[in-house]
Amino acid sequence: MPHQKSSAIYEQVVRRNPGEPEFHQAVREVLESIAPVIERRPEYADWKLIERICEPERQIIFRVPWEDDRGEVHINRGFRVEFNSALGPYKGGLRFHPSVYLGVVKFLAFEQIFKNSLTGLPIGAGKGGSDFDPKGRSNREVMRFCQSFMTELYRHIGEYTDVPAGDIGVGQREIGYLFGQFKRITNRYESGVITGKGLEYGGARVRAEATGYGCVYFVEEMLNARGTSLDGKRVVVSGSGNVAIHSIEKAQALGGVTVACSDSSGYVLDEKGIDLGLLRQVKEVERAGLSLYAERRGTDAVFVPGRAVWEVPCEVALPSATQNEIGDDDAARLVRSGCVAVGEGANMPTTPGGIRVFQEAGIAFGPGKAANAGGVATSALEMQQNAARDSWTFEYSEARLHEIMRDMHDRCLTTADAYGRPGDYVAGANIAGFTRVADAMLSLGLI
């Protein structure tokens, strides 16, 4: 980290937040990018804006007791990190997964600051969740957990304060239970308090599709900037959840051929292109593993257990599963296989070493805080519809998403150029996201 001021701040962050490597990694990446900004804008240093932006405004940790179908009592831990509200109410998802702890939630909320800023919409940044695992639990068990979780969380959220949404392990089922409990406790039908709702009770069209669609739109813009497109390109996607499925759908709609996707058990290779209808049936309806997809697809598909999907050659890679899934070796393998573009559908799925490999090879690399911002952008559009008691068509909503992703791509590209880093979307995203928040914080005074 070349800038002395940035190095000192990073060391302070590590010292004050021990045992949180994901948070340290996210902070370091941003600090490395914004060093040139500090030189041009000394007032940021004078007002300690970087130190302030690295410190959450509020961190909430609470106990979540619940009872399973056998009558056994379980205790989980709930989190909400309200990181920055300079641009608007805290906004960010809830993640239910055994890997969730404070460091993961802080890294996600920190990334959310710059992601939300990049959308150009009036939303701050937060993130939350629990180490509860909904996998294998009955609907009633999930309902009881969500009701217990919201019984504490409700006092910290509101449409003008903090607006959660879904993330890993939190889909429309969980959002429904959470919103129902909020309504029950508060006696208010405050639709804008949570996003990702069902259409029948205040949800927005394209919300489910937004992160996957948005990521593919961002990749298409990167390719267009280089005089090419997705049409005819071989695509590999990690994951097989909501983001991955909608990435596959939009990539195929734009002419890409998605030949592989993965889950926690391994990956499936389908050289004729993933059968989206079958994948939805297996993952969204039956909630089964990808081995079932291969079994039903027949000789066209092969299931490879326990291996990373990045060993499959491709021209476009869309990591859409979880953090740090592409390391140095995976990145080098993708480069050797002819990969020309990477769009991060997940949050921080590429390690710093992997990013360096991609950038040194000249690959178009779309970082998550830009490439996967379509989800939160459409969440903000859901808030807008809720506030106006309105509901937009699918076509209009998707057109707004496409416009936001195109503008975000252009903002990243022009900012990178302005700071002497042409084509560096990581630097462009970090600097553009940071400066908008920092300028708002300057305007609001020392708070």
Q: What is the distance of C-alpha 392 from the center of its chain?
A: 24
SS3 86: coil
The one-letter code for the residue type at 266 is G
Q: What is the distance of C-alpha 176 from the center of its chain?
A: 21
Least Cα distance to 107 among 95, 119, 98 occurs for 95
Contact in structure between 118 and 408 (CB atoms under 8 Å): yes
Q: Which residues contact 78 (CB under 8 A, 6 or more apart)?
A: 60, 61, 62, 63, 64, 128, 129, 130, 149, 152, 153
**Residues that constitute the known binding site for substrate:** 91, 112, 115, 166, 379
DSSP class of residue 61 equals E
CA angle centred on 347, ends 306 and 107, rounded to 5° = 115
Distance, CA of 362 to CA of 248 (rounded, Å):
24
Going through 115-238 in order, the beta strands assigned E by DSSP cover 125-130, 162-165, 234-238
Least Cα distance to 20 among 129, 124, 100, 130 occurs for 100
**Residues that constitute the known binding site for NAD(+):** 211, 242
Contact in structure between 278 and 272 (CB atoms under 8 Å): no
Residues belonging to the active site: 127
**Residues that constitute the known binding site:** 91, 112, 115, 166, 211, 242, 379
**Residue linked to tokens 């996967």:** 372
